[in-house]
Amino acid sequence: MKNRLLALILSSVLLPTLSLSATAQSRMLESNKGTSVDCPTLIAEHLKVQYQVTNGKGQQWEMTLIRNGQDFIIQRDAATFEQWTSHGEYVRYFPVEKRSVTYRKGDLRALNVQHDRDQLYHVVSPKLQTHMVKTQVQQLGCFETQGFAGKVNGLESQLLWIDTIGLPYQFTLGATQPNLDYKLVIVEPFSGDAYSALTQDFQDIDFADVGDSESDPFIAKMINQGFIEHGSSGFYNSEGQAIEAQGGHGNHSH
Amino acid sequence: MNVMNIKRIAAAISCSLMTVVAHAAVLPATQTDSQWFKDSAANVAAKAQVETQKTAKNVILFVGDGMGVSTLTAARIFQGQQQPGNQGGEEGFLSFEQFPHTALVKTYNTNQQTPDSAGTMTAMTTGVKTKAGIISISDTSLRGNCLSSKGNELVTLVDLANAKGLSTGIISTARLTHATPAAAYAKSPERDWEGDANLPAEAVANGCTDIASQLVMRDEANALTVALGGGRSYFLPKEITDGENKAGKRKDGKDLTKTWVDSFSKAAYVWDKKGFDAVDVANTDHLLGLFNPSHMEYEADRADDVAGEPSLTEMTTKSLEMLKKNDKGYLLIVESGRIDHAHHAGNASRALSDAVELSNAVKAAMDATSSDDTLIMVTADHSHVFTIAGYPKRGNPILGLVHNVDGSLATANDNKPYTTLAYTNGPGAVVGVRDDLTSVDTQNKDFMQQALIPMESETHAGEDISLHARGPGSNLVQGVIEQNVIFHIINQAQQLGGTKY
């Protein structure tokens, strides 16, 4: 129980991911003086970013965030990706099966799922900065970054923040012995049409209908794999494992 | 049984009551002076005076999806505890619980001991039980197979009422294409064929059509007068984005909301609360209201809806205004569709809020009609594994932790408290160590009740549900009945001509 709560607290700050398949059109290339890039014109509400995430065991994975206005997609692995809409809906997509499950606001509430939309949209919650002290301003590639340092969850941490797009350039939790490190590796513009294309032609089901759809082989498979409810929390621990909704009780197993 | 016979029975009961009264002197004053004694005696006396007409001009069938008996009890207490000056909440009644006639209803499908909504509602609307997942097609059909459904389509109450020249209406807080409302007007071997994009090649090849199109693509004579609920996306093409910024789901390019307006005389389509409130009843003969791309909001969340939604009570009231314009009468079927969904999510608070709103809608229907000519029936399609447990003291908050009669917090064998309401299975299940709820606000509407068996979604239950009735023909509601008997009660009371009555 304590571990689950701790994981939930950590996850509200951090979003580890697994892998993704994406083609970068412009890359952040580091140089001795920072990052040298082919600087595209970026609009904070219409872009795609990819982070390389490294945990304390040296394991690495990637996460992608794609914004379309106030809607955004987060992809953590090739099997699924998730969309959060401005209406407060959460949609989990299964690209191989071309199926999706939509959790409407009422469904999320009924499941007692709570999330920090700001943290998801910005990868690292902007509120974090208020608990840290400013350090130096650096030009890294295309971006002017503001440095922050301070304790996060009891660990000395460092944040390089790109204010123009509201995202971290790098965030390191546990500065002397890194627990988790997020590093921006790709950033590019992403159009509304391209965004819409990502979610086209999926056969969608409301989460509310799952209970009446257990004869659906896809739903049965997803339930057995624990995707349906666990996916709804949107939170993952430092091993990339989904954390159950807060309304769950005990050690929910699948 | 005619009115005379009923009067004879009533007279016999009345004589029996007089006998009781004649012997009342032997009862001690502490008994006869008790308010419990007086109230119940008055209740029986009133029942003895009940006279029931045989023929109903109008029929309203309310269905609480998943509203089993434990839901009724909990909703009654939930409602009672919110009323000022209550005596604990247990003493109250939901509006329909004081109807004069009640029966228990067996809900199983032809292939399932614990049923689903498609099979149960088919039983109610056609008089024939069928398999789970099948909409108003007999059980000789295979689920999800169009070819096997051909020739096995069943005639529904709505078909019969329309043929008689009555006005008809369907209301649901779920999608109008969802299994329960769909069984009133559509025929489909698969409940999931709500839109054309859901039809497999076999269905298209063999001439099956989607449920949304079956609601709209009808002759004027067989058209619904009122259809109000959710499910807008199955009526709009995917190229169209609706007023709540959600794209339609139809692949055939059809805008069925436009088809509705173009096909029927004095037709109107509304999609938000503002449009709903502005409907000119006097000059509208066919009203389609689709207030959400999918299911409408839970009553507890309705105020947060993007464009605003009418309540079940408001939809019922407006529908009755529309339907009353037909002097021949009407048939209205009203579903509270989201009690079921809240239970599936293991969230008792929302299930109870929606059940109370159904009670409010029934009250509005009672107020807007006469029991002399309108049969009102209230039932469920199936139950849920929802329990009311422990020995909480009188007036203990129904959503709260169990407190003993002496006020102390009751604890289980693990020395932790527990709630009165829980589920046999579902997402709130405990595996391993049970959470300590001592400092948890279990009355919060987002609280998920604990459960025994871990399942991603809580399930339906197989026990009987209840049927409550008032008005002409309601005397036929008695005993333990098969669910398909409901069709026959309506058919007989409203003389729909579907049998040899």
Please indicate if any CB of chain B lies within 8 Å of the CB of A251.
yes
Contact B434 A112 (CB under 8 A): no
- Do both B238 and B200 map to the same domain? yes
Q: Is A210 touching B (CB cutoff 8 A)?
A: yes
B136 is known as an active-site residue:
no
Does one domain contain both B274 and B346? yes
Residue B432 has its nearest CB partner, among A86, A208, A251, at A251
**Which segments of B91-232 does DSSP mark as H helices, in order?**
117-126, 146-149, 157-163, 179-185, 201-205, 211-216
Please tell me whether residues B451 and B486 are part of one structural domain: no
Residue of A90, A249, A251, A253 to mutate when probing chain B, most B C-beta within 10 A: A249
Which residues of chain A are within 8 Å of residue B430 when distances are taken between CB atoms? 249-250
Distance CA B249, CA A102 (A): 14
Identify the closest residue of chain B to A111 by CA–CA distance.
B345
Whose CA is closest to B301, among B28, B268, B292? Answer: B292
Q: What is the dihedral of CA B218, B221, B226, B230, to 10 degrees?
A: -10
* pLDDT surpasses 70 at A247: no
Same-domain pairing of B358 and B441: no
Question: Does the beta-carbon distance from A216 to B192 stay under 8 Å?
Answer: yes
Report the share of chain A in percent with pLDDT over 70.
Answer: 71
Q: Is the pLDDT of residue A19 over 90?
A: no
Sheet containing strand B421-426, strands side by side: B386-388, B421-426, B451-454
- Predicted-complex ipTM score: 0.81
User: Quick check: A252 and B429 CB within 8 A?
Assistant: yes
Tell whether B308 and B215 lie within a shared domain. Answer: yes
Q: Domain of B419?
A: 389-458
pLDDT value at A35 more than 50: no
A120 vs A128: CA distance, rounded Å: 13
Of the partner residues A1, A105, A212, the one whose CB lies closest to the CB of residue B433: A1
My answer on whether B442 and B453 are in the same domain is yes
Task: Please state, in angstroms and as integers, the Cα–Cα distance from residue A68 to each residue in A65, A83, A100, A197, B174, following that order.
Answer: 10, 10, 19, 12, 30
Q: What is the domain count for chain B?
A: 2
Which of the four pLDDT bands, split at 50, 70 and 90, describes residue A227? low
Q: Among the listed ranges A106-120, A215-229, B10-24, B234-248, which one has the minimum average pLDDT value? A: B10-24
- Chain B residues whose CB is inside 8 A of the A106 CB are 297-298, 301, 350
pLDDT for residue B396: 98
- Let me know whether B182 and B132 are in one domain: yes
Query: B485-493 and B117-126 are packed helices; what angle lies between their axes, rounded to 10 degrees?
Result: 30
CB half-sphere exposure, B315, CA atoms < 13 A? 34
Task: Give the DSSP H or E segment for A54.
Answer: strand A47-55
Does B304 lie in the same domain as B397? Answer: no
pLDDT one-digit tens code per residue, B244-253? 888 899 999 9
Give the A:B interface size as CB pairs under 8 Å.
117
How many CA atoms lie less than 13 Å away from A53 in the CB half-sphere? 25
Give the three-class secondary structure for A10: helix
The size of chain A, in residues, is 254
Residue-averaged pLDDT of chain A: 75
Quote the tokens at residue B13.
């009961």
Q: How far apart are CA B232 and CA B178, in angstroms?
A: 12
Residue of A nearest to B194 (CA): A205
- C-alpha distance across the termini of chain A, in Å: 17
Pure H helices in B299-405: 312-323, 338-344, 348-368
- Asked whether the beta carbons of residue A251 and residue B132 sit closer than 8 angstroms, the reply is no
Q: Which two tokens stand for residue B387?
A: 């329990």
Residues of B in contact with A109 (CB under 8 A): 301, 350, 445-446
CB contact under 8 A, B446 and A249: no
Tell me the range of A198-202, B19-23, B362-366 where mean pLDDT is highest. Answer: B362-366
| Distance (Å) of CA B125 to CA A125, B184, B485 | 54, 6, 10
Cα B368 to Cα A241: distance, rounded to the nearest angstrom? 55
Judging contacts by C-beta atoms under 8 Å, the chain A residues touching residue B198 are 203
Identity of the residue in A106, A112, A229 whose CB atom sits nearest the CB atom of B298: A106
B380, B451: one domain: no
Residue B495 CB-density burial (10 A; 0-12 exposed, 13-18 middle, 19+ buried): middle
Average pLDDT (B376-390) is 97
Phi-psi category of residue B66: left, alpha or beta, with phi > 0 → left and psi -120 to 50 → alpha: left
Q: Which CATH class is domain A2-233?
A: mainly beta
- Give yes or no for A252 touching B (CB within 8 A): yes
In a domain, B405, yes or no: yes
Residue B402 near residue B392 (C-beta atoms within 8 A): yes
Q: Tell me the β-bridge partners of A37.
A: A28
Among B176, B58, B62, smallest CA distance to B466 is for B62
From the list B117, B136, B336, B466, the catalytic residue is B117
Half-sphere exposure of B160 (CA within 13 A, CB side): 23
Domain at B110, CATH number: 3.40.720.10
Structure tokens given for B335 = 């579903």
Domain boundaries, chain A: 2-233
Q: Which residues pair with A67 in a beta bridge?
A: A72
Provide φ and ψ at B149, rounded to 5°: -85, -20
B110 and B203 housed in the same domain = yes
pLDDT value for B30: 94
Quote the tokens at residue B324.
Answer: 């009353």
In three-state secondary structure terms, A149 is: strand
- In A, minimum Cα distance to B244 occurs at A87
Partners of B347 on chain A (C-beta within 8 Å) are: 110-112, 247
> A252 and B244: CB-CB below 8 Å?
no
Measured between alpha carbons, how far is B118 from B137 in angstroms, rounded to an integer?
A: 10
Give the pLDDT confidence of B283-314 residue by residue, as tens digits. 999 999 999 999 999 999 999 887 899 999 99
The phi, psi pair for A14, rounded to 5°, reads -120, 150
List the single residue in B with minimal CA-CA distance to A206: B294
Q: Which residue has the higher pLDDT, B1 or B423?
A: B423
Instruction: Answer whether A208 sits within 8 Å of B295, measured CB to CB.
Output: yes
- Please report the pLDDT score of residue A226 as a whole number: 63
Indicate whether B316 belongs to any domain: yes
* pLDDT of A213: 83
User: Is the pLDDT reported for residue B39 higher than 80?
Assistant: yes
Residue A211 CA to residue A70 CA, distance in Å, equals 30
Residue B396 CA, chain-centre distance (Å), reads 27
**Digit-coded pLDDT (tens) for B310-367:** 999 999 999 999 999 999 999 999 999 999 999 999 999 999 999 999 999 999 999 9
Q: Cβ separation of B428 and A228 shorter than 8 Å?
A: no
Amino acid in the structure at residue A162: I
Q: Which residue has the tokens 């339609």?
A: B248
Query: What pLDDT is attached to residue B430?
Result: 85
Chain B partners within 8 Å of A226 (Cβ): 456
Mark yes or no for CB contact B427/A247 under 8 Å.
yes
Question: The dihedral of CA B216, B219, B222, B225: what is its sign?
Answer: positive
Distance from CA of A164 to the nearest CA of B (A): 28
Using a CB-CB cut-off of 8 Å, the residues of chain A touching B412 are: none
Q: Nearest CA of chain B to the CA of A7: how many Å? A: 17
Q: Distance (Å) from the C-alpha of residue A115 to the closest C-alpha of chain B?
A: 14
**Residue A151 pLDDT:** 87
Interface residue of A212, A221, A246, A253 to substitute, partner B, most B CBs within 10 Å: A212
Sign of CA dihedral B361, B363, B365, B371: positive
Domain shared by B223 and B114, yes or no: yes
The rounded distance, in Å, linking the Cα atoms of B381 and B106 is 10
Question: Whole-angstrom Cα distance, residue A162 to residue A139?
Answer: 10
How much is the pLDDT for B50? Answer: 86
Q: Is residue B344 part of a domain?
A: yes
Per CB-CB distance under 8 Å, the chain A contacts of B229 are none
